[in-house]
Amino acid sequence: MFEKLAQIEKSYDELTEQISQPEFMSDMSTYAKLMKQHRSLGEIVEKYREVRKMTEDLQGAKDLADAADDEMKEMAALEIAEIEEKLPAAEEELKLLLLPKDPNDEKNVILEIRAGTGGDEATLFAAEILRMYARYAERQGWKMDILEVTDTGVGGIKDATAVIEGDNVYSKMRFESGVHRVQRVPQTETSGRIHTSAITVAVLPEAEEVDVQINQNDLRIDTFCSSGPGGQSVNTTYSAVRITHLPTNVVVSMQDEKSQIKNREKAMRVLRARLQELEEQKQHDALSAERKSMVGSGDRSEKIRTYNFKENRVTDHRIGLTVHQLELVMEGQLDEFVETLRTHYQTEKLKAEAIAA
C-alpha cells in the first residue's frame, strides 16, 4: 500500500508543478482538468503524509523510551500512547480514500422530486425539500437550475426537475435518492392530528453527450403551447417541447423557457441522464434492484429519512442517525447526514473487498 501511496505523492507533486506553469493556465479546459486531478489526489496525499509523520513520530518515541532516562521515558510513553490511540483511525481513513471511486462521483446531477402519498401536504413538503437542496447547493458553492416544476394551487409542487452543477456533486448527493417522509400537523388540520406524507427523490448523474449516444431518428419531438405563469407569450407560441425516445419510451417535457431551443436543450440533458440510468440498470442488476427499493413508489411505509416537525427531529433510517435540529436541516445544513452516509457506505465497501480478498 505504501509503495502505491509514494507513487500517488509523486504524481501529486508533478501536478503541483504543472499547474503553476503559465502555459497550462492559459488553456482553461486543460487547467480545469488538472486542478480537478490535483484536488482528488490532494486529499489522499495529505492523509498519507499525516499517517507517515505519526508512524515516524511513534518510532522516534519508542527509540527514545529505550535509550532515555526515567523522566524522558515517561514523556515518551505518553507520546506513544497518544499516537497509538490516533494512528489506527488515520490509517482506516487512508484506506477509505484509496478505494476505487465511482466514475460518476465528480459529475453534475439531475435532481427529480415527486410528491407521493399525502395529497396537498405531500406537495407542500416536496416544495420544502426542493428549497432545502437549493440551500445545500448554495452552501456547497454549487449552481442549481430548476429545469421544470409543476406547481399546485396551495403553494406546493407535484414534481420538479433541477440540475446541480459543481465539484463532486454526485458523490455528495447520491445517497439522497429514496422516499423522504414527513410527520407533522398540517395547517388545514383543526384537530391537531399528526399526518404522515411522503415524497420521492431521485438523484441521477448527468450524462455527457460522449457518455450516451442518441440517434436522432429514435426521437419524436413535439412542440406545444406552454401553460402556467411565464408572460404574454406563454400561451401563444409553441415554445414547450416534449421529447420521446422511441426505443425506451422515455418521455421528457420542458416548458420552463420562452425559447423552444432552450427548452429542447434542457430536455435533452434530462433525457441523457435517464437513458444512462437505464443502461446502468441493465449492466448492474443488483445495484438497480437496490436503487429501486430505495426510491420505491412513494408509499408512507417506504422511507430512507423521516422529518418529524413536532419533535424537531430528522432520522436517517439506513444508518440510524438522528439529529434534533430540523430547522437547520431544512435550511440546507445536510453535512452530518451526507458525510456519515458516505463514510458508512465506503466502510461497507472496504469490508466487502476485504472478504473478497
Following DSSP, what letter does each residue of 246-296 receive, concatenated?
TTTTEEEEE-SSS-HHHHHHHHHHHHHHHHHHHHHHHH-HHHHHHHHHHH-
Last residue of a domain, one of 78, 97, 116: 97
Residues 264 and 194 occupy one common structural domain: yes
CATH code of the domain containing 186: 3.30.70.1660
Residues 23 and 169 occupy one common structural domain: no
Residues 181 and 246 occupy one common structural domain: yes
Taking alpha carbons only, the member of 199, 63, 53, 48 closest to residue 133 is: 199
Last residue of a domain, one of 97, 121, 144: 97
Residues 90 and 113 occupy one common structural domain: no
Burial readout 83-113 (b: 16 or more C-beta within 10 A, e: otherwise)? beeebeebbebbbebbeeeeebebbbbbbbb
Residues 88 and 112 occupy one common structural domain: no
Residues 123 and 212 occupy one common structural domain: yes
Higher per-residue confidence, 324 vs 300: 324
Q: Per mean pLDDT, which range of 67-76, 168-177, 285-294, 302-311 is the poorest? A: 285-294
For the segment 327-354, what is each residue's pLDDT rounded down to a tens digit? Answer: 999 999 999 999 999 888 888 877 776 6
Higher per-residue confidence, 142 vs 67: 142
- Asked if 307 and 317 count as a contact pair (C-beta separation under 8 A), the reply is no
Residues 114 and 24 occupy one common structural domain: no
Residues 347 and 201 occupy one common structural domain: yes
For the segment 73-112, what is each residue's pLDDT rounded down to a tens digit? Answer: 888 889 999 999 999 988 888 887 887 777 888 889 999 9
Total Cβ atoms within 10 A of residue 227: 10
- pLDDT reported for residue 214: 86
Cα–Cα separations (whole angstroms), residue 206 to 50, 166, 283:
35, 12, 18
Q: Where are the alpha helices (DSSP H) in the chain?
A: 2-19, 22-25, 28-67, 70-97, 119-140, 169-173, 260-283, 285-295, 326-330, 335-356
Taking alpha carbons only, the member of 311, 148, 155 closest to residue 240 is: 148
140 has a pLDDT exceeding 90: yes
Mean pLDDT throughout 129-158? 93
Residues 175 and 39 occupy one common structural domain: no
- pLDDT reported for residue 357: 57
Q: Per mean pLDDT, which range of 117-126, 183-192, 250-259, 306-315 is the poorest? A: 183-192
- pLDDT reported for residue 175: 93
Domain containing 310: what range? 105-357
231 has a pLDDT exceeding 80: no
For the segment 284-301, what is each residue's pLDDT rounded down to a tens digit? Answer: 554 445 445 445 544 445
CATH code of the domain containing 64: 1.20.58
Residues 116, 119, 123, CA angle at the centre, nearest 5°?
65
HSE-up of residue 166 (Cα within 13 Å, Cβ side): 18
Residues 26 and 169 occupy one common structural domain: no
Give residue 356's pLDDT band: very low, low, confident or very high (50, 70, 90): low
Residues 61 and 210 occupy one common structural domain: no
Helix axis angle, 335-356 relative to 70-97, nearest 10°? 90
Last residue of a domain, one of 48, 79, 97: 97
Q: In whole angstroms, what is the distance from residue 154 CA to residue 123 CA?
A: 8
Residue 354: which residues within 8 A CB-CB, separation 6 or more? none
Q: Across all residues in the chain, what is the average pLDDT?
A: 84
How many domains does the chain contain in total?
2
Indicate whether this model's pTM tops 0.75.
Answer: no
Residues 275 and 174 occupy one common structural domain: yes
